[in-house]
Structure 1
Amino acid sequence: MSATPPGPHSPQGLLRAVGRWQILGLSINSVVGSGVYLLPATAFALLGPCSVWGVLLAGLTVSLLVLCYAKAGSYFEVQGGSALYAREAFGPFAGFQVAWTIWLTRIATAASLANGLADAMARFWPAVGSGPGRVAVIGGSLGLLAAINIVGVRHAAQLSLALVVGKLLPLVAFVGLGAWHVDWTLATAASSAPTMDARWGEAALLLLFAYAGFENLSVAAGEYRQPRRNVPFALVAMIVLVTALYAGVQWVAQGTLPGLAASATPLADAAARFGGEGLALLVTAGAALSILGTSNATMLLGPRFLHTLASDGYGPRVLARVHPRFHTPAVAIAFQAVLALALALSGSFAQLALLSMVTRLLAYLGTAASVLVLRRRLGDPPGSWHLPGGAMVPVAALVLSLAMLLSARPAHLAAVGLAMAAGSVFYLFPRRPA
């Protein structure tokens, strides 16, 4: 597995000379997606009035992982992210497996987001909530994003930048206006919540899904200005800002919407109660734009992992092909879209989100473990970022990540295990690189 994406076809060239504040914007854009719009109801159903604290605890847990990525990223000035860290710490096979699971994560995430888009739109257009209408939204969104990415990475990158404001503005409006209408009794009374059960592990995985994406920032580190300094800054600042925003959203949702746990579109339903249908429509539009933005990033980066693996001899040669006109990995993009469509039609938003977190946690575990090895091997050379807490941080991140991984459903663990076994076959029996 090479540390860098295929040179002339890489989206990272568009990020050249990106500075500190632009990197922070990219990191926020990578994280804020569908989860914050659709998961408040699920979090409340699982955790009751403690869901705000669950959001804060999830943010604290992710902070440990963010610190690991910040430290690992400060050792390198080339792109690669989790796969690079694992390869440098544990060897080529570990790097390959992390890259492989990252690609699997992209498929599950794209499938989950396509379902989330249909769920969000169903509030104003009930026909897309089930049946042919739902299939049309799922298939249409995946097909459209695949086509945009095949036509050219520049168009895909411009689309992502255009969607940033569209995803953040409705959230800020929701919290800013809703804070004046919060019923504190409703927000904190245990009687307003469903009966608590023992699904704390499932709740933790879903809340972690809302924060997922921060690891994408380091993939393009080689194209940032002073990455060894600016990437850690952006990661730490991002997790503080996003955690505050998420906690505010959860607090307003459960303080303004009775029966939150039963809502399929919690933010839109809550917004309608204190801001009318106009605000609900704004929130729905924000959710759709946010989901499309995150899904576009998934369609932009995911196939390039697959293309790189195929170019290195791992997998069918056809996946390494580049479109003769658009110079994009068109076959890999189309292949990922087809797999995501098949998976999307087989499950719900929440269940596919849980599946994507199982594969994502493997990359988190690999990075946390890599930090322990790299710190022992390289120490703290000049220019690297100082890790507060030293080895305690990656150890805590490892323990928490492993605990969440083991809390996943056996079916999800088995599916990921089989997929990793299939990847091992490609690694052990490579063909000649393209």
Structure 2
Amino acid sequence: MATRAKIASEEQSRDHGLLRAMGTFTFAAAITNEVVGSGVYRLPGVMATAAGTVAPYAYLACLIAMGAIVLCFSEAGSRVPTSGGPYGYVEAAFGPMPGFVAGLLVWFSSVLACGGIAVALADTVGSAFPAMAAAVPHTAVVVAVLGLMTFVNIIGVDVASKILGLATMIKLVPLFLFLIVGGGALFAGHAAASPITNPPTESFGAAAILAIFALTGMETPLAASGEVRDPARTVPRALLLAMISIGLLYIAVQIVAQQLLGAGLIGSKAPLADALGTIDPRWRAPLLAGAFGSMLIWLGSDLLGAPRVLFAFARDGLLPSFLGKVHPRFRTPYVAILTHFVLAVALALTGTFEKLAILSTLAIAPLYMSVCAAAVKLRRGNVAILGKPLTIAGLPVIAALAILSMVGLIGLAKLEEQAALAVLLIGGVLLYYLMRFLRGRTTAL
């Protein structure tokens, strides 16, 4: 491992020119935005359909696995708070090649998810307004929403983080409304007449993967760690604050939805709206609007964090230097943001939400495994940049649990999906050595 002083010098140099403007609340809001997307509005129905009577246990298992991963991310993020997030953690622990592959996984998973959520948002608009379901209007919605969020992120990280912080509170309103109204109705005795009784189906594996997808996303805002104030304290605090809150929120939503709808939850594509609809049909509209707003804001948070991975690559000479350009006025990596926008649009126009979501989750699994291992190695090497790091009790055991859970997740995927993941990993290694070769030739000339 590189010396502590060398690592600190390299990481601070990487973030030269960026403004450290985000505090704990705004950074936690960015993480919440990224994790609480469209999944929370669809997950209860998906889990009930595939997992049946064991849905609560499957959901709890996913939360436990993510909890172990969050703890590893918290310590690693407090030790290496740099642009690129997990890319920086893995690189500091294991060297540039594993770091490059980790960063590639962060970005690839994010751009897949970005395209998938954009498709889901355009589909929602088409469902509400049938004329918008045609190809041209559908495409226009995809480009418009991604373009809007791209513009917000280019004009400044401080502006973007404040907008996203406010938007987080706005988009959480329908979820709290669901819990208050639904919980009140349950307390008053309004409950489903037919409970869920079906056993798990053969699609249980896909449901588990989609459940993890609904809980992932923290790695993308962490890519903007180079723009966080007092990162050694802010990064772990924001991460723990966001993920603990999200976990409690998801558990509460699942319980209320299942109690209100019962067997009706199976196959529901809008489970929260359907659940409140059993109380009064007029409650459906605000929940459907909340799903739309949640997806829109999620896209903004993704465009805040994911392009910083491309920026970090370019600053390290692993991608063309133009991707590392900082806007002279707004001081944001605008070329990287625009590149992410273009590729997300391309994916959105060629894929579906379900397929892109599954591939996105599988791409992130080996990244989580790498970060968990990196957290242990960074502690052993006593690596700490910009302040005293967080020290998690029992970290080696927690990391082992997290790694095993991700191995199990990959095992649940279809053979062709596992093959695609293998191609991605091998391609990342080959791309790294190709870029090194090209860089060496340029230097020689």
TM-score tier by shorter-chain length is 0.7 to 0.9
Structure 1 residues 362 and 418: CA distance shift in structure 2, 3 A: same
Per the TM alignment, residue 63 of structure 1 is displaced from its structure 2 partner at its CA by: 0.5
Q: Is the 8 A contact 2:106 2:364 kept in 1?
A: yes
- Matched position secondary structure for 1:74: helix
Per the TM alignment, residue 23 of structure 1 is displaced from its structure 2 partner at its CA by: 4.7
Q: Is the 8 A contact 2:83 2:309 kept in 1?
A: no
* 2:212 aligned partner: 208
* 219-228 vs 248-257, which moves further: 219-228
Deviations 1:45-104 (A, max 9, x none): 111243233332221111110111122233345454211221121111111111111111
Q: Is the 8 A contact 2:78 2:231 kept in 1?
A: yes
* 103-112 vs 401-410, which moves further: 401-410
For 1:237 and 1:321, the matched residues in 2 are separated by 32
- Matched position secondary structure for 1:14: coil
- Matched position secondary structure for 1:214: coil
- Matched position secondary structure for 1:274: coil
Structure 1 residues 224 and 301: CA distance shift in structure 2, 3 A: closer
State the percentage of identical aligned residues: 32
* 1:189 aligned partner: 196
Does 1:395 find its partner at 2:400? yes
Q: CA RMSD in A?
A: 3.1
Does 1:357 find its partner at 2:366? no
* 2:373 aligned partner: 369
Per the TM alignment, residue 351 of structure 1 is displaced from its structure 2 partner at its CA by: 1.9
Structure 1 residues 232 and 162: CA distance shift in structure 2, 3 A: closer
Residue ranges of structure 1 left out of the alignment (5+ in a row)? none
For 2:156 and 2:369, the matched residues in 1 are separated by 33
Q: Is the 8 A contact 2:84 2:308 kept in 1?
A: no
* 295-304 vs 384-393, which moves further: 384-393
Please point out which of 230, 234, 252 is paired with 2:256.
252
- Matched position secondary structure for 1:108: helix
* 2:4 aligned partner: none
* 1:7 aligned partner: 16
Give the letter for the 1:349 counterpart: F
Does 1:423 find its partner at 2:433? no
Does 1:409 find its partner at 2:414? yes
Deviations 1:217-245 (A, max 9, x none): 54444555554445434433433321221
Deviations 1:303-332 (A, max 9, x none): 222133234332345434555665544443
Equivalent positions of 1:167-186 (< 5 A) are: 167-182=171-186, 184=191
Does 1:70 find its partner at 2:79? no
Stretches (4+) displaced over 6 A: 379-382
* 1:284 aligned partner: 288
Q: Is the 8 A contact 2:223 2:305 kept in 1?
A: no
Q: Is the 8 A contact 2:102 2:370 kept in 1?
A: yes
* 296-305 vs 123-132, which moves further: 123-132
For 1:76 and 1:84, the matched residues in 2 are separated by 7
Q: Is the 8 A contact 1:115 1:349 kept in 2?
A: yes
Per the TM alignment, residue 165 of structure 1 is displaced from its structure 2 partner at its CA by: 1.4
Per the TM alignment, residue 206 of structure 1 is displaced from its structure 2 partner at its CA by: 1.0
* 313-322 vs 400-409, which moves further: 313-322
* 2:267 aligned partner: 262
Per the TM alignment, residue 426 of structure 1 is displaced from its structure 2 partner at its CA by: 3.6
Q: Is the 8 A contact 2:29 2:165 kept in 1?
A: no
Per the TM alignment, residue 291 of structure 1 is displaced from its structure 2 partner at its CA by: 1.2
Please point out which of 385, 388, 400 is paired with 2:390.
385
Structure 1 residues 216 and 52: CA distance shift in structure 2, 3 A: same
- Matched position secondary structure for 1:215: coil
For 1:44 and 1:83, the matched residues in 2 are separated by 35
Equivalent positions of 1:31-430 (< 5 A) are: 31-129=35-133, 131-182=135-186, 184=191, 188-190=195-197, 193=198, 196-216=200-220, 218-221=222-225, 224=228, 226-257=230-261, 259-277=264-282, 279-321=283-325, 328-378=332-382, 383-430=388-435
The TM-score, its normalising length taken from structure 2, stands at 0.84
Structure 1 residues 283 and 145: CA distance shift in structure 2, 3 A: same
Per the TM alignment, residue 344 of structure 1 is displaced from its structure 2 partner at its CA by: 1.7
Structure 1 residues 318 and 186: CA distance shift in structure 2, 3 A: farther
For 2:147 and 2:229, the matched residues in 1 are separated by 34
* 60-69 vs 227-236, which moves further: 227-236
- Matched position secondary structure for 1:44: helix
- Matched position secondary structure for 1:173: helix
* 49-58 vs 375-384, which moves further: 375-384
For 2:104 and 2:394, the matched residues in 1 are separated by 31
* 367-376 vs 91-100, which moves further: 367-376
Residue ranges of structure 2 left out of the alignment (5+ in a row)? 1-6
Structure 1 residues 215 and 375: CA distance shift in structure 2, 3 A: same
Matched length: 425
Structure 1 residues 133 and 304: CA distance shift in structure 2, 3 A: same
Per the TM alignment, residue 154 of structure 1 is displaced from its structure 2 partner at its CA by: 4.5
Structure 1 residues 372 and 6: CA distance shift in structure 2, 3 A: closer
Give the letter for the 2:182 counterpart: G
Structure 1 residues 411 and 30: CA distance shift in structure 2, 3 A: same
